[in-house]
Amino acid sequence: MFSSNKLIRSFSYAIEGMTHALTTQRNMRIHFVVALLAMILSLVLDLSKLEIVLVFFSIIAVVAAELFNTAIEAVVDLTTSDYHPLAKIAKDVAAAAVLLTAVHAVIVGFFVFFDKLFPPKLRDLNDTGEMAIYVAFIPLGMLVLLLISWRAYTRFKKQG
C-alpha cells in the first residue's frame, strides 16, 4: 500500500545524505559551485535542448559519483581503521570514478559552451518560443542546488 509518510521520509533521508556530503566533502562543494555556474551559462547562452540535457546529465553524473564515493569511503572507514590494501583500492577506485565523470563533464562543457562563449551567443529571454518550457527547468535546478546548499550551510554553522 502506498504511504505518503514513507515517501516523504525517503526524500528526507536522501536530502540528508546530500546535505552530509555537501557539509563534509570539499569536492562536493566545488561540484555544486561549478554546477551552478554551468546552469547560469545554460540559462543565458543560446543552447539547444540537447545541449541543456547534456549539461544536466553531466552535472548529475558528477554529483552521483561523488555521493557514491562518499558512501564507499564511509563504509570502508566503518569496517576498518587500520590500513588495508583492499580498503585503499576501494577508496581509490571510487575516487577514480569521480575523476572520470568530472573529466567527462569538462569535455561536455567545452563542446557545449566554447562556441557559444567565443563570441557570446546569448539567449533572447523575451523570445524563447518552443524552448520556454525547457529553459524553465534551469532555474528549477538552480533552486534545488541553492536550497540544498543553504541547508548544508546552516547545518555546518550549527556544528562549528
Question: What are the phi and psi torsion angles at 120 (to 5°)?
Answer: -60, 130
Residue 102 has pLDDT above 70, yes or no: yes
Entry pTM: 0.84
Q: What residue spans define the domains of the chain?
A: 20-159
pLDDT at 5: 83
Q: What is the mean pLDDT of residues 80-100?
A: 95
Binding-site residues for a divalent metal cation sit at 73
- As annotated, the active-site residues are 66
Give the CATH architecture of domain 20-159.
Answer: Orthogonal Bundle (1.10)
Helix/strand number for the chain, H first, E second: 6, 0
Binding-site residues for substrate sit at 66
Which residue's entry shows cell 564515493? 69
Which residue's entry shows cell 569535455? 107
